[in-house]
Chains A and B, each alone.
Chain A
Amino acid sequence: MRILLVEDEADLAATLRKTLVESGFSVDLTVDGEEALWQAEGAAYDVIVLDLMIPIVDGWEVLKRIRARGDRSPVLVLTARDATIDKVRALDAGADDYLTKPFTLDELLARIRALIRRAAVSPAPVIRLADVEIETSARRVTRAGAAVDLAPKEYALLEFLALHRGTLVTRTVLYEHIYDDRDDSMSNLVDVYVSALRRKLGRGLIRTCRGSGYIIDAS
């Protein structure tokens, strides 16, 4: 899952980035509204975490503009502005969630997960695919009741395919959602992760559509 983090407070941005990366997200960081607009246009983000008081173009305006161009990425506003009018303005401009600073990281992560779930096929926090069970809140995967140990990128890939089960996910989309701008991995790494997942979870789970991408069938 790829997240665009728009935060001009350098220390907080760094903390958020390492927290999100540790939670298995790919994170792109921007420090002002103009850069955020540019960045959001270039990649498909699963969640945009947006501060309102950012330089050049403020957060409300960023929201308005990305919604105006048809971008439906879930946006979580993370700001120190706690007045009702600010919340109303942000939600009306197209925000999906609003969290005021100071906040706890646990709550932020839970809200991000909820936004991702809501954008997916089914909003249930636990996804069952035959004997495989994915617990998105704890990032835990079990097969026939036994815990399966997955590398962070393996989990990210599985979760993305599972959330979009029943639809074909192209390699390009996968790259967009599980890698951020700082990753410069080789493209065949996706194949490596897929084969690792097949080894751990059974061959039938992820189907290859030759030449275009992967799919997990809706059960």
Chain B
Amino acid sequence: MVTWSLRAKLLAWYSLVLVAVLATFAALAVWTVWQSGLRDFDSRLTATASVLARAINLDSSGRYEVNLTGPDLAEFTVSDEGPYYAVWTSAGLLIDRSDSYIDPASPRVPQVRSRGGNREVVVAGNQGALVLVGDSLGQFRSDLWRVILGFAAAAGIALALALGGGWFLVGRALAPVERIGETAEAMSESNLGLRIDVTRTEDELGRVATSLNRAFDRLQEAFERQTRFTADASHELRTPLASLMAELEWALARPRASGEYQSSLAVCLRAAQRMRGVVEGLLTLARADAGAIETQRAPVNLASVVEDAASGVESIAAERGIAIRIESVPAIVEGDSNRLRELISNLLINAVQHSVAGETVTCSVSTLGPTTRVVVSDTGPGVGSDDLPYIFERFYRANKVRSRASGGAGLGLAISKWIAESHGGHIRCDSREGQGARFTVELPALVGNADQLPGNDATPRSPEPVDVRVPNAGTS
């Protein structure tokens, strides 16, 4: 199968339509010329026949006499060529004719007819005589052929001009397509910054180019995010690995005291734990991306999940001299209690890591109509407005001031976001630099079970502080 270029296809259709239009027009024109020419021809023959009819006389002896001396009848006498005539009596007897007329049969009256290449008119004359006048259509026909040929020539020239112009115009119109194609072709992994040169933005192709450029922008952004993610993941794994290897190399360089071995092993353990944290986080997110994690769906009391999470974080908080305060009401949501505990733990750990000794991290659970809300807030340095849109991104580290000692791998918030969203909810952070951070998780309340809870109606309920954890004597 032959594949045609778009240009050729457009032109083929274009010329097909043009030929059809020209042919229809020419046919109509020729038909009209033929019809009107034939009418003229007939009326001329009829006029001649009428003159001839008047020139027939019945003489005294009862014989017909045809007087061909009239001004319009001279041509009958000149030659065999050209018009001819025949005259019959009312009884059908041929009484006179041109030499070139050969059919003696009497015609019926009156009529106009085509016979052979000739046109004949029969009219009634004096004394019941019948007069026939005929002439060859040859001249008329050849005139018509000239008209047809003229039309054909004109149409051919018009078609050629239209095709040439069309080829040029289509080429011009398709040039941007060519350019778009070339740009797209030249784009590659290392050259993602390339864009289609959009000079004419108002036409259709300009708009296509603009939307393609926007698509390229998004593609580049996604690609760069992926590259950054890979670099970040590699960084987060290499850093503890470097620590592990360096410490082991140091310990093995020469015999060490047992206390030194002990502290070396502690360093190695910390490095390994950090690597485990990164690997587990990455694995969770990778499986979440692939949709490979099935979250359980069961009624979960968020208040007890918060209790659980808080008791898990308590030791880290106590070590830093930070109190965790919980204000909660029983609130049932549908979900996976382990995941939800991970979500709240992450937020609590994050808050604790950004607080200093003596501060309090608050975690509250409340219900408002169909929504269950968990708020974790701290009074730490907060998040700058530049960082705020990105803090749920993987490996994003808000405020560079934070030393690595206080930070995790940078996946906790990304995982929290995924957990909140996989439970049909969402997470957001409200913060201003220097004024603490407030993370809000909103999950759909489980309506079916809401009735079982005492006093859980549509009116918002303010939680009562139920638990205030006082830190142990700070070891920091």
The reply to whether B403 and A12 form a contact with Cβ atoms under 8 Å apart is no
Query: Which of B267, B271, B403 contacts A32 (CB under 8 A)?
Result: B403
> Which chain A positions have C-beta within 8 A of B246?
12, 15-16, 19, 102-103, 105
Task: Answer whether residue A11 sits at the interface, using C-beta atoms and an 8 A cutoff.
Answer: yes
The reply to whether A100 and B238 form a contact with Cβ atoms under 8 Å apart is yes
The reply to whether B405 and A12 form a contact with Cβ atoms under 8 Å apart is no
Query: Which of B236, B242, B267, B401 contacts A102 (CB under 8 A)?
Result: B242
The reply to whether A102 and B241 form a contact with Cβ atoms under 8 Å apart is yes
> Which chain A positions have C-beta within 8 A of B234?
80, 82
Complex CA distance for A103 and B245, rounded to whole angstroms: 8
Task: Answer whether residue B342 sits at the interface, using C-beta atoms and an 8 A cutoff.
Answer: no
A15 touching B250 in the complex, CB below 8 Å, given contacts A55-B400, A55-B403: yes
> Which chain A positions have C-beta within 8 A of B239?
9, 12, 80, 101
> Which chain A positions have C-beta within 8 A of B141?
none
Task: Answer whether residue B371 sits at the interface, using C-beta atoms and an 8 A cutoff.
Answer: no
> Which chain B positions have C-beta within 8 A of A16?
246
Complex CA distance for A83 and B246, rounded to whole angstroms: 22
Task: Answer whether residue A104 sits at the interface, using C-beta atoms and an 8 A cutoff.
Answer: yes
Q: How does the 8 Å CB contact mask read for A1-39 relative to B, with 1 for contact and 0 for none?
A: 000000011111011101100100000000110000000
Complex CA distance for A81 and B249, rounded to whole angstroms: 21
Task: Answer whether residue B404 sits at the interface, using C-beta atoms and an 8 A cutoff.
Answer: yes
Complex CA distance for A53 and B235, rounded to whole angstroms: 9
Task: Answer whether residue A186 sits at the interface, using C-beta atoms and an 8 A cutoff.
Answer: no
A11 touching B270 in the complex, CB below 8 Å, given contacts A80-B234, A80-B242, A103-B242: yes
Identify the closest chain A residue to B243 (Cβ).
Answer: A12
Complex CA distance for A80 and B405, rounded to whole angstroms: 17
B interface, over-half SS:
helix
Complex CA distance for A12 and B244, rounded to whole angstroms: 8
The reply to whether B402 and A19 form a contact with Cβ atoms under 8 Å apart is no
Considering only residues 201-252 of chain B, those with a C-beta below 8 Å from chain A are 231, 234-236, 238-239, 241-247, 249-250
Task: Answer whether residue A135 sits at the interface, using C-beta atoms and an 8 A cutoff.
Answer: no
The reply to whether B250 and A19 form a contact with Cβ atoms under 8 Å apart is yes
> Which chain A positions have C-beta within 8 A of B245?
102-104
Task: Answer whether residue B473 sits at the interface, using C-beta atoms and an 8 A cutoff.
Answer: no
Task: Answer whether residue A58 sits at the interface, using C-beta atoms and an 8 A cutoff.
Answer: yes
Q: How does the 8 Å CB contact mask read for B120-135 relative to A, with 1 for contact and 0 for none?
A: 0000000000000000
Task: Answer whether residue A56 sits at the interface, using C-beta atoms and an 8 A cutoff.
Answer: yes
The reply to whether B404 and A9 form a contact with Cβ atoms under 8 Å apart is yes
Task: Answer whether residue B2 sits at the interface, using C-beta atoms and an 8 A cutoff.
Answer: no
Task: Answer whether residue B74 sits at the interface, using C-beta atoms and an 8 A cutoff.
Answer: no
Query: Which of A8, A19, A83 contacts B404 (CB under 8 A)?
Result: A8
Closest chain A CB from B13 CB (angstroms) = 51
> Which chain A positions have C-beta within 8 A of B401?
55-56
Identify the closest chain A residue to B406 (Cβ).
Answer: A55
> Which chain A positions have C-beta within 8 A of B270?
11
Q: How does the 8 Å CB contact mask read for A82-123 relative to B, with 1 for contact and 0 for none?
A: 110000000000000000111111100000000000000000
The reply to whether A101 and B271 form a contact with Cβ atoms under 8 Å apart is no
Task: Answer whether residue B78 sits at the interface, using C-beta atoms and an 8 A cutoff.
Answer: no
The reply to whether B235 and A81 form a contact with Cβ atoms under 8 Å apart is yes
The reply to whether B241 and A83 form a contact with Cβ atoms under 8 Å apart is no
> Which chain A positions have C-beta within 8 A of B231?
81, 83
Task: Answer whether residue B253 sits at the interface, using C-beta atoms and an 8 A cutoff.
Answer: yes
Considering only residues 105-142 of chain B, those with a C-beta below 8 Å from chain A are none
> Which chain B positions have C-beta within 8 A of A19?
246, 250, 253
Closest chain B CB from A161 CB (angstroms) = 28
Identify the closest chain B residue to A83 (Cβ).
Answer: B231
> Which chain B positions have C-beta within 8 A of A56?
400-401
Query: Which of B236, B238, B241, B243 contacts A15 (CB under 8 A)?
Result: B243
A105 touching B250 in the complex, CB below 8 Å, given contacts A81-B235, A82-B238: yes
Identify the closest chain B residue to A86 (Cβ).
Answer: B231
The reply to whether A11 and B235 form a contact with Cβ atoms under 8 Å apart is no
Closest chain B CB from A68 CB (angstroms) = 20
Closest chain B CB from A130 CB (angstroms) = 32
Query: Which of A12, A81, A100, A105 contacts B253 (CB under 8 A)?
Result: A105
Closest chain B CB from A60 CB (angstroms) = 13
A11 touching B249 in the complex, CB below 8 Å, given contacts A101-B242, A102-B241: no
> Which chain A positions have C-beta within 8 A of B405?
8, 10
Q: How does the 8 Å CB contact mask read for B390-417 relative to A, with 1 for contact and 0 for none?
A: 0000000000111111000000000000
Closest chain B CB from A88 CB (angstroms) = 14
> Which chain B positions have C-beta within 8 A of A22?
253
> Which chain A positions have C-beta within 8 A of B244?
102
Considering only residues 68-87 of chain A, those with a C-beta below 8 Å from chain B are 80-83
Identify the closest chain A residue to B402 (Cβ).
Answer: A55
> Which chain B positions have C-beta within 8 A of A105?
246, 249-250, 253
Complex CA distance for A83 and B231, rounded to whole angstroms: 8
Complex CA distance for A115 and B401, rounded to whole angstroms: 31
Closest chain A CB from B18 CB (angstroms) = 58
Q: How does the 8 Å CB contact mask read for B157-176 relative to A, with 1 for contact and 0 for none?
A: 00000000000000000000
Highest count of chain B CB atoms <10 Å: which of A15, A58, A82: A15
> Which chain B positions have C-beta within 8 A of A104?
245, 249
Complex CA distance for A12 and B250, rounded to whole angstroms: 11
Highest count of chain A CB atoms <10 Å: which of B246, B271, B401: B246
Q: How does the 8 Å CB contact mask read for B242-278 relative to A, with 1 for contact and 0 for none?
A: 1111110110010000000000000100110000000
Identify the closest chain B residue to A99 (Cβ).
Answer: B242
Known: A55-B400, A101-B239, A102-B244. 12 other contacts (CB 8 A): A9-B242, A11-B247, A12-B243, A15-B246, A15-B250, A15-B267, A80-B239, A80-B242, A81-B235, A102-B245, A103-B242, A105-B249
* 6 pairs, A vs B, C-beta closer than 8 Å: A9-B239, A12-B243, A12-B247, A32-B403, A103-B242, A105-B253
- Residues on A lying within 8 angstroms of B by beta carbon are 8-12, 14-16, 18-19, 22, 31-32, 53, 55-56, 58, 80-83, 100-106
Q: Nearest 8 pairs between A and B by C-beta?
A: A101-B242, A80-B238, A12-B243, A102-B242, A80-B235, A102-B241, A15-B246, A105-B249
- Residues on B lying within 8 angstroms of A by beta carbon are 231, 234-236, 238-239, 241-247, 249-250, 253, 267, 270-271, 400-405
